[in-house]
Amino acid sequence: MKKRWSFFREAVKSFRSTGAIASSSPALIKKLVEPLPADRPVTIVELGPGDGCVTRAILNKVHPKSQVTAFEINESFIALLAGIEDPRLRVLPVGAETLTDYFEAGTVDFVVSSLPLSMIPKEVKAEILEQSRIALGPKGEFYQYQYALQDYGLMKDYFHKVSVSFTAANLPPAFIYSCFMG
């Protein structure tokens, strides 16, 4: 309850960067983490973890030797994320558009993004997608949710294959892009 209230407070304070009024529902989170493997260690980047609802689900699901790096720019959320005690998690207080400052080309297996893409300036959004594509290996996968399909075409410009699923069990209902490098 406390986390939900923190999310709403931050959403009101910084709606343009938060881009939602409530954190993701359990149904949406389940769909986002479903593709992550539990049986082998992988390198995961999370973009826009916010209050950590998706972060926790990722950590609950993945292999004990997987590594999760989260990029978040909101100071209140960064403080909340510091409360997640898990040696597999590193929280970077920097924008997603600096991804390749931290990862060499082809070293990331999965990117899971909750970024409010429709509210991010076009050039920054292009930089984030380009850097994600560079950081992901040839078998890399990118997952992103959005409340309408306005960036479907853009996703297709950056990834070899893009499919879309939908969940009504979220406020608002959400589409999930599953993007594949190969």
Q: Which residues bind ligand SAM (CB under 6 A)?
A: 17-20, 23-24, 47-50, 53-54, 71-74, 77, 95-97, 114-116
Closer to ligand SAM at the Cβ: 43 or 132? 132
**Least distance to ligand SAM, CB of residue 116, Å:** 5
Closer to ligand SAM at the Cβ: 66 or 74? 74
Q: Which helix (H) or strand (E) holds 179?
A: strand 174-180
Closer to ligand SAM at the Cβ: 19 or 140? 19
Residues in the chain, overall count: 182
Closer to ligand SAM at the Cβ: 47 or 111? 47
Provide CB contacts within 8 A for 143, sequence distance 6+. 32, 35, 110, 111, 112, 113, 176, 177, 178, 179
Q: Where are the beta strands (DSSP E) in 20-167?
A: 43-47, 67-71, 89-92, 108-113, 136-146, 161-167
Alpha carbons 112 and 54: distance in angstroms, whole number: 9
**Least distance to ligand SAM, CB of residue 182, Å:** 26
**Least distance to ligand SAM, CB of residue 159, Å:** 19
**Least distance to ligand SAM, CB of residue 74, Å:** 4
The DSSP secondary-structure symbol of 144 reads E
